[in-house]
């Protein structure tokens, strides 16, 4: 069971909708004094209508009520009140919701009124969710899924976050955890009840088989080409090519044709300007790596080039821009000629790519407007190449280009599915890899005809359980909690 939050005795309140003018605003409360507070807010104070103090709300039912300031007794607004008694609430505690008119004045008056109620204080960012976590309502993957759902910018991101916030990963990880615990418990039972020589070979075989099965399932889950992470964090995309081939023009065109995404984490790679964009539901992070030129003696420019090259190798998608004129002269009947061209081009640019990490390179032939019809036909015969004129894009060419780009993104990000929840955080991946390592250490010690010290062997197996528990938050891990809840909004 999880340790209790430091001051769960406190009742917290917060505006859960944004601090902007809107039709309806939602203010939430959670904690043991919720019912007293809601009663104080609906009691008008005049002698014959003190019945607010006896008001007995039914769970999860909306009441239309007048809300009063408990000190000035002045009416603030008329709105809806909902009561969610614990433990069947989001936080697991008694909680309630006030829905009031969304003006800044009403919100300010309501928050002031709640501040006057006994034992209430404003909630910290993410504190409602933190209470839900400590109350055992959500595990950490669900908490992080919820944070992602709140921050989701594209349709595919929303789907993935929704699955995770409703427990798709939690169930998977918990099933592995339970199976590993069962294996360890099995082993421990023998330590207590049997002499070493009495252990049946069959039991050992069964244990080994189960561990190998769990291991294979985790391996399979890890072998995902980072699709979930790409969808969550955005597909890092760079545009490279020789000077004047139209890199900036392409970047500008793509940025104009996409919905830009505002992210608080933008610009994480120093000195390279990053922007996030939505292409057909898939998030793309562009970096402007302008100035990737081969020969330069300027120190600052050299430094910039170094960074740009680093970025290229960290990119998930590389758009290599070339002049359509050059490509049009290639022999389309020879598939090798394009590969050779790309190799030579990269070499001329002094770019070494290790295309092993799942990243993809796409050749873009720009300036098709400079070609004759025949040349363009020849160019279209080359397979696996995108064509565009950034200067004079026809609607048809642009559609084709964007469609091909979206298709590529879809391949990189995959499709979120309930049956196959995906790793969305590096942290999960690292712990799962360690989990496998611990299972392997155990298996290498423990063979059918070798009987190691059982207590030590069982302990090693318990280590693998702990790795999974670090993902889900079953073991206390303050450092992880700080990171997880840091990015939460107020009121959630
Ligand atoms: P960069 O150096 O690779 O970033 O190239 P720019 O985007 O700055 O473009 C270099 C030059 O090529 C500019 O004069 C552009 O107007 C021109 N240019 C870019 N795209 C096209 C195109 O599709 N057709 C033609 N004809 N010119 C283009
Ligand atoms: Zn440029």
What distance in angstroms lies between residue 325's CA and the mean position of ligand 1's atoms?
A: 13
- State whether the beta carbon of 390 lies less than 6 angstroms from ligand 1: yes
**Rg of the chain (C-alpha set):** 30
Q: Which atom of ligand 1 is nearest to the CA of 241?
A: 3
62: β partners: 82
Q: Give the chain's domains with CATH numbers.
A: 11-139 (3.30.1360.120), 145-224+423-472 (1.20.120.430), 233-413 (3.40.50.300)
Distance CA 389, CA 395 (A): 11
As a whole number, the mean pLDDT across the chain is 85
For the stretch 349-354, contacts whose Cβ atoms lie closer than 8 Å and that sit 24 or more positions apart, written own/partner, are 349/240, 349/241, 349/242, 349/292, 349/294, 350/294, 351/240, 351/292, 351/309, 351/312, 353/312, 353/313, 353/318, 354/313
Of 453 and 444, the one with more pLDDT = 444
27-41, 266-280, 461-475: range with lowest mean pLDDT: 266-280
pLDDT of residue 407: 94
Q: Give the confidence band of 328 by pLDDT, cuts at 50, 70, 90.
A: confident
Give the closest ligand to the alpha carbon of residue 392. 1
Q: Which atom of ligand 1 is nearest to the CA of 388?
A: 23
- State whether the beta carbon of 389 lies less than 6 angstroms from ligand 1: yes
pLDDT of residue 132: 94
What distance in angstroms lies between residue 373's CA and the mean position of ligand 2's atoms?
A: 27
What distance in angstroms lies between residue 246's CA and the mean position of ligand 2's atoms?
A: 7
Does ipTM top 0.95?
Answer: yes
- State whether the beta carbon of 349 lies less than 6 angstroms from ligand 1: no
pLDDT of residue 426: 93
Asked if pLDDT for residue 3 goes beyond 60, the answer is: no
User: Quick one: which of 281, 177, 265, 232 has its CA closest to 425?
Assistant: 232
Distance CA 45, CA 481 (A): 43
Asked if pLDDT for residue 276 goes beyond 70, the answer is: yes
What distance in angstroms lies between residue 354's CA and the mean position of ligand 1's atoms?
A: 28
| Structure tokens, 157 | 């991101």
Q: Which atom of ligand 1 is nearest to the CA of 370?
A: 26
Task: For tokens 């769960």, name the residue.
Answer: 8
Q: Percent of the chain at pLDDT above 90?
A: 54
Q: Give the confidence band of 321 by pLDDT, cuts at 50, 70, 90.
A: very high
For range 422-434, the mean pLDDT: 95
Q: Where are the beta strands (DSSP E) in 288-336?
A: 317-323
pLDDT of residue 300: 63
**Residue partners of 80: CB distance under 8 A and separation at least 6:** 62, 63, 64, 65, 97, 98, 99
For range 354-359, the mean pLDDT: 69
Nearest CA to ligand 1 atom 17: 246
Residue pair 146/165 in contact by the 8 Å Cβ criterion? yes
Name the residue of 238, 375, 390 to mutate for ligand 1: max ligand atoms within 8 A of Cβ.
Answer: 390
- State whether the beta carbon of 289 lies less than 6 angstroms from ligand 1: no
Nearest CA to ligand 1 atom 15: 246
Helix residue ranges per DSSP H, 234-293: 247-256
- State whether the beta carbon of 247 lies less than 6 angstroms from ligand 1: yes
258-267, 364-373, 410-419: range with lowest mean pLDDT: 258-267
Distance CA 142, CA 132 (A): 10
pLDDT of residue 122: 94
Q: Which atom of ligand 1 is nearest to the CA of 242?
A: 3
| Structure tokens, 413 | 């990000």
Distance CA 29, CA 361 (A): 51
Q: Give the confidence band of 359 by pLDDT, cuts at 50, 70, 90.
A: confident
Q: Which atom of ligand 1 is nearest to the CA of 245?
A: 3
pLDDT of residue 378: 86
pLDDT of residue 6: 52
- State whether the beta carbon of 269 lies less than 6 angstroms from ligand 1: no
For range 105-121, the mean pLDDT: 94
**Residue partners of 205: CB distance under 8 A and separation at least 6:** 448
Continuous segment of H or E residues that includes residue 122 = strand 120-122
Neighbours of 47 (CB within 10 A): 6
Give the closest ligand to the alpha carbon of residue 252. 1
Residue pair 247/290 in contact by the 8 Å Cβ criterion? yes
Of 297 and 106, the one with more pLDDT = 106
What distance in angstroms lies between residue 49's CA and the mean position of ligand 2's atoms?
A: 73
Q: Give the confidence band of 268 by pLDDT, cuts at 50, 70, 90.
A: very low
Give the closest ligand to the alpha carbon of residue 253. 1
Distance CA 344, CA 277 (A): 31
What distance in angstroms lies between residue 272's CA and the mean position of ligand 2's atoms?
A: 14
- State whether the beta carbon of 246 lies less than 6 angstroms from ligand 1: yes
Helix residue ranges per DSSP H, 119-225: 127-134, 140-151, 155-165, 168-193, 201-222
Asked if pLDDT for residue 446 goes beyond 80, the answer is: no
Residue pair 255/277 in contact by the 8 Å Cβ criterion? yes
**Residue partners of 29: CB distance under 8 A and separation at least 6:** 11, 12, 13, 37, 38, 95, 96, 97, 98, 114, 120
Of 122 and 266, the one with more pLDDT = 122
Of 261 and 26, the one with more pLDDT = 26
Residue pair 15/27 in contact by the 8 Å Cβ criterion? yes
What distance in angstroms lies between residue 416's CA and the mean position of ligand 2's atoms?
A: 36
Distance CA 490, CA 14 (A): 7
């Amino acid at each position: 069971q999880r340790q209790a939050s430091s001051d769960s005795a406190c009742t917290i309140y917060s505006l859960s909708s944004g601090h902007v003018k809107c039709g309806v605003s939602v203010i939430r409360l959670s904690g043991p004094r919720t019912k007293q507070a809601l009663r104080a807010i609906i009691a008008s104070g005049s002698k014959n209508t003190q019945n607010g103090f006896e008001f007995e709300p039914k769970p999860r039912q909306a009441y239309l009520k007048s809300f009063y300031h408990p000190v000035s007794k002045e009416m603030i607004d008329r709105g809806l009140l909902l009561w969610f008694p614990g433990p069947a609430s989001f936080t697991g505690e008694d909680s309630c919701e006030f829905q009031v008119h969304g003006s800044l004045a009403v919100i300010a008056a309501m928050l002031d009124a709640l501040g006057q109620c006994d034992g209430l204080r404003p909630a910290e960012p993410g504190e409602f969710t933190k209470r839900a976590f400590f109350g055992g309502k959500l595990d950490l993957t669900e908490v992080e899924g919820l944070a992602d759902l709140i921050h989701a910018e594209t349709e595919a991101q929303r789907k993935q976050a929704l699955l995770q916030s409703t427990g798709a990963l939690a169930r998977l990880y918990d099933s592995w955890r339970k199976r590993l615990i069962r294996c360890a418990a099995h082993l421990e039972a023998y330590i207590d009840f049997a002499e070493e020589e009495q252990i049946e070979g069959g039991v050992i075989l069964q244990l080994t088989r189960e561990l190998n099965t769990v291991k294979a399932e985790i391996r399979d889950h890890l072998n995902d080409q980072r699709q979930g992470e790409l969808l969550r964090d955005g597909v890092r995309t760079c545009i490279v090519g020789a000077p004047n081939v139209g890199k900036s023009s392409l970047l500008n065109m793509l940025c104009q044709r996409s919905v830009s995404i505002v992210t608080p984490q933008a610009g994480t790679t120093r000195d390279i300007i990053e922007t996030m964009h939505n292409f057909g539901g898939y998030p793309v992070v562009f970096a402007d790596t302008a100035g990737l030129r081969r020969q330069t003696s300027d120190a600052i420019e050299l430094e910039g080039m170094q960074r740009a090259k680093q970025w290229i190798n960290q990119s998930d998608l590389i758009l290599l821009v070339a002049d359509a004129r050059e490509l049009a002269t290639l022999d389309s009947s020879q598939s090798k000629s394009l590969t050779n061209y790309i190799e030579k081009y990269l070499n001329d640019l002094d770019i070494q790519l290790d295309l092993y990490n799942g990243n993809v390179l796409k050749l873009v032939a720009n300036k098709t407007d400079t070609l004759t019809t025949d040349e363009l036909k020849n160019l279209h015969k080359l397979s696996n190449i995108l064509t565009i004129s950034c200067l004079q894009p026809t609607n048809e060419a642009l559609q084709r280009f964007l469609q091909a780009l979206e298709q590529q993104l879809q391949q990189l990000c995959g499709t979120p599915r309930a049956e196959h929840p995906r790793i969305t955080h590096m942290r999960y991946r690292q712990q799962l890899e360690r989990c496998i390592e611990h299972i392997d250490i155990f298996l290498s010690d423990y063979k059918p005809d070798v009987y190691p010290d059982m207590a030590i062997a069982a302990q090693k197996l318990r280590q693998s359980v702990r790795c999974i528990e670090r993902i889900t938050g079953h073991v206390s891990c303050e450092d992880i909690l700080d990171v997880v809840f840091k990015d939460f909004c107020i009121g959630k």
